[in-house]
Amino acid sequence: MLKPTSPAQYELEMVTLEQLVPKDHLLRLIDRHISFGFIRERAAHLYCADNGRPAVDPELLFKMLFIGYLFGIRSERQLVREIQVNVAYRWFLGLRLTDKVPDASTLSQNRRRRFTGTDIEQIIFDEIVEQAIKHGLIGGRVFYTDSTHLKASANKNRYELHQVEQKPSEYLAELNAAVEADRLAHGKKPLKDHEDDDSDSGKEIKVSPVDPDAGYMVRDGKPTGFFYLDHRTVDGVHALITDTHITPGNVHDSQPYLSRLDRMKQRFGFDIAVAGLDAGYFTPMICKGLIEREVYGVMGYRRPNHKDGYFYKREYRYDPERDGYVCPNGEFLGYRTTNRMGYREYASTAASCTNCPMKGQCTQSRNGVKVITRHVWEEYKEEIDAHRLTDKGKELYKRRKETVERSFADAKELHGHRYARFRGLAKVKAQALLAAACQNMKKMAMLLEAALLAAFLPQKLHQKLLEALQSVQDELDRLIGIPKLISA
């Protein structure tokens, strides 16, 4: 016999929000271990102290946004509807069951009128990182960096072609000085100044009419269209995010890297010892910058382009004493010049190649001369490349997939990081900073809760858990025992 139903929805119960929220709910853990009081203090200058009607508490506004990022709610209207019916969300925000939830327009208008042009999102992210440092969750020695794309809210088939001036790279002045010094050392005249030459002063790019800040991305193995790039750095111990930086999708990964590394060191005082990067960062500028900063760089390997039936470049041996290359047939390729791009050119003689039995595997040039290039900073690349072949380098690089790649996977799968929620570089930057802060809060709360629970375990289990939490740090400390890098 079934029990007769009763309209329980209309019954009165004596209950509090505290009773309705599970003890192990994520928001409970975050509220217990993360302090948010700094938000009111750091946003106070954005509010009028003695005029107008009382504003919605900035801590409440940002906590609402945190809920959206923590639980992957991309729409702010949907976020408000979820808060209205979810008691855990109301508990986290400090709202009663009957309190009115701030409208979605309150979030958007505060973003547009109050927070635009400020660095409040960066302040929040940095404060969360500092709390992680105080709790001892960031090692500050080993870091992994990578980038991922966020699809912009723009149709890839609708664009305008714009002619834009090519801005010189940050390292161009340093490279030019190195080129002139190298030419002088080889007895060559300085290159002519091409500042007045407008032939290469600009290039044509695709620009979205609805989101001009998005970059049209064309990369092997990646989708084509308008995207933003999130350049993210994580700590090697618990993969907590220590830096995130947004650029248009057509910016190379290596361009902002060194400046962001310096920003991390200056802002948080990290003593950076190791940097793990994928092959996209293997450029002369990055390698030189890491060695000059005494950072042990470990980078991935990308197989070079090669035409079947021809020798690999590695089969031509560089002779530093004679400053030239020796070909597989034993002939010497001597220095010819250093070009404006920073590459030394080494060339054979037509006489030595004319009757060479290996010519068909070497060159098809009309004049029968083989030319090999070598960057003026090639020795930095060779030193960094040698690290990946060592046992320490292999162990350090192996953790890259467990740290920064896992961080991006969680961001895309759980926190709505596949798409740019807004249009414009500044707004997407704010999205990336808040999403990264929420990922950090989630991981910090879980780690700190595990450490707190460990104190109540039996002695053996307590010790075992502490050893497990410490094992990653110990392993990285062991690997950091690397001889100090030489600086050219």
**Where would I find the H helices in 322-424?**
350-354, 378-387, 391-398, 400-414
CA distance 383 to 485: 10
Q: What is the per-residue pLDDT for 261?
A: 96
- Output the pTM of the full model: 0.88
CA 106 from centroid of its chain's CA atoms? 31
Q: What is the DSSP letter of 256?
A: T
Cα angle 277, 282, 285 (rounded to 5 degrees) comes to: 110
CA distance 132 to 303: 39
Residue 450: CA atoms inside 13 Å, Cβ hemisphere, count?
15
Instruction: Find residue 228's DSSP bridge partners.
Output: 150, 248
- Encode the chain (488 residues) as per-residue pLDDT tens digits: 677 777 777 778 888 888 999 999 999 999 999 999 999 999 988 888 777 788 889 999 999 999 999 999 989 999 999 999 999 999 999 999 999 999 999 999 999 989 988 999 999 999 999 999 999 999 999 999 999 999 999 999 999 998 887 666 667 888 888 999 989 988 888 888 765 555 555 788 899 999 999 999 998 888 999 999 999 999 999 999 999 999 999 999 989 999 999 999 999 999 999 999 999 999 999 999 999 999 999 999 888 888 888 898 888 999 999 999 999 989 899 999 999 899 999 999 888 888 888 888 888 888 888 999 999 999 999 999 999 999 999 999 999 999 999 999 999 999 989 999 999 999 999 999 999 999 999 999 999 998 887 766 566 555 665 566 566 666 666 666 654 443 33
Q: What is the per-residue pLDDT for 8?
A: 75
CA distance 374 to 318: 9
What torsion do the CA atoms of 97, 91, 78, 119 make, to the nearest 10 degrees? 130
The overall longest dimension of the chain from CA atoms, in Å, is: 105
CA distance 70 to 442: 8
Q: What is the per-residue pLDDT for 485?
A: 41
CA distance 326 to 342: 21
Helix (H, G, I), strand (E, B) or coil at 281: helix
Q: What is the per-residue pLDDT for 483?
A: 45
